[in-house]
Chain A
């Protein structure tokens, strides 16, 4: 026990003296939280909409007005004879082009089906979907209005299913309170994983491992001595990040912070174990960085932080069972946004404990006291 304590003491002295690491521990959460949460949003605002009004009727002007009134669109109108629509989209000058054909209003009077054309830049598929959604809802609203105005039919008499929807846990669909916990997961993971990995391999590069290996330090003592300091730093960064999330994004703390930290502790032990394992099989910091970067990238993208796990193919979801980030990104949102308790995340705790044991035992096993 005492030996582990001395190793931890030594690590902290070195971390504090390291001019770069010391600052990075403080600076990374601030930069990541404040920049990434704003940047990594699915909300689409300021969609550049170009309206080509070939009808120039009261109805078409009304419709255009509805778009002007929307806060999502930045509307411009072009000459009805404009032949450069494709060019405008190619150059990215507009995201959406709405073409109101000639005879749009007349079709209402003649009881024909009026038609509109929407051309959407869908290079980014999900953004394209969202833009279509926004446009459709504005057009639907317009449709209801004009039906009442033109035919005088009251809304009630038109039989239709009225859907009343309510968004639970994030009622205003505020992406920031969804993203902030996700960014925090990446942050805590990256700091813990990379720092432990680099730290152990640095002992190899400096040759200090040779001096350590002739001491009676036991393998598990060495691994724990390397793990605990970065576990503590990871938890401090998590707390720090949560405070930032609370202050800047008003992220709700529905569940107990204790529950979150219980899970985060086990999770960090698992992730640091990966870092330690990689560094036991590597000889240079470069190798550790390269391998870690590869895995972290895969884990982050598959974790459901940015994209929905439910949209992945079956095999992708199967692989994801081996991805520790997918558990933590789910749990942190469950606890913060839904208020889930220890009992609700029981299975996740069991699985992540399994991970923690596996990665650290691997690290202890691979760490050789010979050269």
Chain B
């Protein structure tokens, strides 16, 4: 079990992470979701004892990241946000190096990395710097797993990776989870939230909410309208000027609109949009996604 209490990290007067508390259960696949600069990497470095907290504390399986950092490093597998393996060593040499410094060997823990490593094993003599983005991530994951850690801490493992590799990567995480490894992962992609057991939405160094992804969206009570018209940009502009608007955001071709009232007067809105000169206006009720909730929570905070 991983438990953070009032975890804070300050750089001078800048608060990178403020009063963050959460709990991750053993065997859980837990996601931190937030945009760049939200404080995800800072949080992960605190978890892996690479940074010391300004105040508050984190415990991994009862071990304190400050006091027991040596033991923490033995039970934690960390994959930094940036590719951090040796580009001038081959796939196998990288893996072998990290195995040996953890006092183990590829053979000994092959069963743990097998699912991941088998994808890149055919290229084991290739230099790590010459791998594709997806393969680099799999190698990094293999290296993070080689010492059979209890917790995996993966900082944005799918950033900059193509859609197919991303899907594959998440499948690998599910299979690792089934082996009982606790996984903490961060991502800026809201659509990946549904792949986690529980997620924490993080913004400006603070947690907005922590829950199951389904619960976060289903507990969202405000009405969301998906609106389409001939010119999305002008539509967005008009909707933001609509008297009842709380917020309106472009989602691809659609604009997601949330009003102040529990339910909007659709006829009134159609008339308003007609007046503004929009053609082919379609308005539909839609179910909130994680991103809608995220935007709403951020809006709430900013008052």
B50: chain A residues within 8 A (beta carbon): 210, 213-214, 369-371
Instruction: Tell me how far the C-beta of B68 lies from the nearest C-beta in chain A, rounded to whole angstroms.
Output: 13
A14 within 8 A of partner (CB)? yes
Give the interface size bracket for A toward B. Answer: 20 to 34
Cα A370 to Cα B45 with chains together (Å): 9
B83 within 8 A of partner (CB)? yes
A13 and B93 contacting across the interface, CB-CB below 8 Å? yes
A159 within 8 A of partner (CB)? no
B70 and A18 contacting across the interface, CB-CB below 8 Å? no
A207 and B84 contacting across the interface, CB-CB below 8 Å? yes
A112 within 8 A of partner (CB)? no
Instruction: Tell me how far the C-beta of B134 lies from the nearest C-beta in chain A, rounded to whole angstroms.
Output: 19
A212: chain B residues within 8 A (beta carbon): 101
B266: chain A residues within 8 A (beta carbon): none
Instruction: Given A17-B88, A210-B50, A211-B143, decide whether A217 and B101 contact each other with a Cβ distance below 8 A.
Output: yes
Cα A212 to Cα B88 with chains together (Å): 16
A144 within 8 A of partner (CB)? no
Interface size on B, residues (CB 8 A): 28
**Candidates A13, A207, A211, A216; contact of B70 at CB < 8 Å:** A216
Instruction: Given A10-B89, A14-B89, A370-B52, decide whether A214 and B73 contact each other with a Cβ distance below 8 A.
Output: yes
A211 and B80 contacting across the interface, CB-CB below 8 Å? yes
User: Closest chain A residue to B69 by CB distance?
Assistant: A369
A216 and B74 contacting across the interface, CB-CB below 8 Å? yes
B301 within 8 A of partner (CB)? no
**Candidates B85, B93, B103; contact of A211 at CB < 8 Å:** B85
Instruction: Given A208-B84, A211-B84, A215-B102, decide whether A6 and B97 contact each other with a Cβ distance below 8 A.
Output: yes
Cα A14 to Cα B127 with chains together (Å): 11
Cα A208 to Cα B83 with chains together (Å): 8
User: Closest chain A residue to B79 by CB distance?
Assistant: A211
User: Closest chain A residue to B129 by CB distance?
Assistant: A206
Cα A355 to Cα B303 with chains together (Å): 61
A156 within 8 A of partner (CB)? no
A2 within 8 A of partner (CB)? yes
A286: chain B residues within 8 A (beta carbon): none
Instruction: Tell me how far the C-beta of B80 lies from the nearest C-beta in chain A, rounded to whole angstroms.
Output: 5
B78 and A206 contacting across the interface, CB-CB below 8 Å? no
A216 and B101 contacting across the interface, CB-CB below 8 Å? yes
B56 within 8 A of partner (CB)? no
B85: chain A residues within 8 A (beta carbon): 208, 211
A3 within 8 A of partner (CB)? yes
Cα A213 to Cα B48 with chains together (Å): 10
B84 and A210 contacting across the interface, CB-CB below 8 Å? yes
**Candidates A6, A18, A371; contact of B100 at CB < 8 Å:** A6
Instruction: Given A6-B97, A210-B80, A370-B50, decide whether A215 and B88 contact each other with a Cβ distance below 8 A.
Output: no
User: Closest chain A residue to B42 by CB distance?
Assistant: A371
B289: chain A residues within 8 A (beta carbon): none
A-facing residues in B14-33 (Cβ within 8 Å) = none
B86 within 8 A of partner (CB)? yes
Interface string of B208-236 (1 = CB under 8 A from A): 00000000000000000000000000000
A2 and B100 contacting across the interface, CB-CB below 8 Å? yes
B48: chain A residues within 8 A (beta carbon): 214
A206: chain B residues within 8 A (beta carbon): 84, 86-87
Interface string of A89-130 (1 = CB under 8 A from B): 000000000000000000000000000000000000000000
User: Closest chain B residue to A217 by CB distance?
Assistant: B101
B49 and A208 contacting across the interface, CB-CB below 8 Å? no
A18 and B49 contacting across the interface, CB-CB below 8 Å? no
User: Closest chain A residue to B52 by CB distance?
Assistant: A370
B98: chain A residues within 8 A (beta carbon): 211, 215
User: Closest chain B residue to A218 by CB distance?
Assistant: B70
Cα A3 to Cα B98 with chains together (Å): 10
Instruction: Tell me how far the C-beta of A6 lies from the nearest C-beta in chain B, rounded to whole angstroms.
Output: 4
In the complex, which of the residues A13, A18, A211, A215 has the most CB atoms of chain B within 10 Å of its own CB atom? A211
A370 and B49 contacting across the interface, CB-CB below 8 Å? yes
B245 within 8 A of partner (CB)? no
A-facing residues in B54-103 (Cβ within 8 Å) = 70, 73-74, 76, 78, 80, 82-89, 93, 97-98, 100-103
Instruction: Tell me how far the C-beta of A186 lies from the nearest C-beta in chain B, rounded to whole angstroms.
Output: 29
Cα A6 to Cα B97 with chains together (Å): 7
Instruction: Tell me how far the C-beta of B38 lies from the nearest C-beta in chain A, rounded to whole angstroms.
Output: 18
B246 within 8 A of partner (CB)? no
Cα A18 to Cα B88 with chains together (Å): 8
User: Closest chain A residue to B77 by CB distance?
Assistant: A214
B45: chain A residues within 8 A (beta carbon): 371
Instruction: Tell me how far the C-beta of B92 lies from the nearest C-beta in chain A, rounded to whole angstroms.
Output: 12
User: Closest chain B residue to A6 by CB distance?
Assistant: B100
A215 and B73 contacting across the interface, CB-CB below 8 Å? yes
Instruction: Given A206-B87, A214-B73, decide whether A371 and B102 contact each other with a Cβ distance below 8 A.
Output: no
Cα A211 to Cα B87 with chains together (Å): 13
B73: chain A residues within 8 A (beta carbon): 214-216
Cα A14 to Cα B97 with chains together (Å): 12
User: Closest chain A residue to B96 by CB distance?
Assistant: A6
A207 and B83 contacting across the interface, CB-CB below 8 Å? yes
| Chain B residues within CB distance 8 Å of chain A | 45, 48-52, 70, 73-74, 76, 78, 80, 82-89, 93, 97-98, 100-103, 143
4 shortest interchain CB distances as A-B pairs: A211-B84, A207-B84, A6-B100, A207-B82
9 more A-B residue pairs beyond the given contacts A214-B73, A215-B102, A216-B101, with a C-beta to C-beta distance below 8 A: A2-B100, A3-B101, A7-B101, A10-B86, A14-B86, A18-B88, A206-B86, A211-B84, A214-B49
A/B interface sample: 16 pairs, CB < 8 A: A2-B100, A7-B101, A13-B89, A14-B86, A208-B85, A210-B78, A210-B82, A211-B84, A211-B85, A214-B48, A215-B73, A215-B102, A216-B101, A370-B49, A370-B52, A371-B50
